[in-house]
Structure 1
Amino acid sequence: MPLPHEYPRWTPEEKRLLRELYATAPVAELVARLKRPIAAIYQHAKTLGLHGTRKWRHPSEFPQEVLDQVRALHAEGHSDAAIARRLGRPEFRRSVSHIRKEKLGLPVNDRALAEGRRRAIESQRKTLGIRHGGDLRSVSFRRYARECGWPEDLPPRAVQILNVLAEHGPQTKLDLARAIGMPTDVIGSNGSLKLLHGSRGSRLMRGHGTYTGLLVARGLVVQTHRSVGPGNGRRQGVGRLPSVFVLTPAAITARETIRGSQQRGERGREAAVHGADTRPGPGGHAGPRRPGGVGRAAQGGGEEGARRAGRRGDRAEAGRAGKGR
């Protein structure tokens, strides 16, 4: 469709038709009859002094039959926007809201609000690819694990533990609990600290009581035990130190694989966006085009150009030496 300034000049017949229809005709009728965009129609109406003359611009201009229709449509459960569309004036939604509230004294339609919320939620579910609102949590968990480079079916606390181990190396349970902000002062029935405990009934926990237990069972973390020797013969210092948790080679390899696939996906998306800039260059090598279409030869020819320049310099130097003799 041409731009407003690209349309031909208004003819006297079109101006007469605009003066006749502008006050009462719907927007769709104006566009259909005049064969011009609504922006051009509004602009020329302002030029002709018709601005502000359209009916129903103010709620007080609504005739009584329209008020009756608003009341009837509201009783059927329609929203203000739906009522405006039913009246053939979708641009007057705010006027319909004012009529409904101030002139008719009607409340907001609860059924319309509920229907609007339902449609909005349904649209969000389709956009996110989920079945119901409860899946939002699972989607966020999977996204967080994927962004950190770990398997998507891990709970967030387990992902945090893996991040700490990858960044700081071997850690005890107490160190891990402090690093990820979990409680460190809960005492169990046996008198020991309860650290890194999760919900055993959670689907992501797979029946494990602690996050470290889940990671050990998945082969992502290994638990190493430390102990001290017999001491000075009187059994002083004999015992075990807290266990230390370390990432397994399999976990490191899995993370590198996931990160590599993510980087390849990002490069593929960038290549798709900038496809026009990655056409084969000189010599058939694919790569970014040089600014201004300058190729290797135009930039000096590379090593071959340097050798040629050197030979020319040698010949010039020999010529100057001969003239000196």
Structure 2
Amino acid sequence: MDAKHFDQWVDTSLSAFEAALDGLVPEKAPAGLGEAMRYAALGGGKRLRPLLVLASCAAVGGDGFAAMRAACAVELIHAYSLVHDDMPCMDNDVLRRGKPTTHVKFGEAQAMLAGDAMQALAFEVLTPGDGIAPALQARLCAQLARASGYDGMAGGQAIDLASIGKALDETTLRDMHRRKTGVLLQASVMMGAACGAVPAQATESLSRYGAALGLAFQVVDDILDVTQDSEVLGKTAGKDQDANKPTYVSVLGLEPARQLAQQLRAEAKAALAASGLADVSLLSLLADSVVERVN
């Protein structure tokens, strides 16, 4: 697939995704809660996780309805995590996706509740009354729960907060970011694959692809934090350095971090090549977009 057709696929997929997510996030939750949820979840972000779900499903010829539900669920988990991470008790940030963070806009209590409600909604989205077989519902819920919990995103954030001002070696840093960022990206790939019938070889290869891509995303994030300004990023630039948090740039240096991102892209593409799947071009081009992005 060439760049033009890839861009067309992205535009078409995101249009369908945004419509689906808009229909799932309620406007009329009590006491303005729906407004806060929609502010946090809709109209912004790279939407990488949903695209990974949809691309992985396409690679295995899976069920589109289940994949779209999974894409929405993953993004709801991601959105809730950003709301909570931005709060004063965590990263204390005031800018996200080019606009005030949810707690700045709605207050801390409402932001906390919006995050809680989006987390719960994610699992409600995965368990509709019909359209997804019960066994697949259970599998998707288990994958998302594992990626979100103590051994995944929440555990990584706990390590991140405990590591402020500490010198970490690369192994510890990699484990932190594998949990905090990588596991949910990997789960996005595997949830898309779960929507189809996948041979064991392809499942293992897609898992390795997701792991490499997830780490590459964080390495590039660390690079952009010190090389781009807030206007381009849509969030506060240099905040990790200001908070004395360990990053790939602070541990390895800027150029070695860039080299690592390229190495991880190569690992991701090698995993795809070993999958035995007929067409993994969407996933391959998504890996390029992760490493080559500017925000």
Q: What TM-score, normalized to structure 2?
A: 0.24
The answer to which structure, 1 or 2, has the higher relative contact order (CA under 8 A, 6+ apart) is 2
* Structure with more strand by fraction: 1
* Structure with more helix by fraction: 2
Q: What TM-score, normalized to structure 1?
A: 0.22
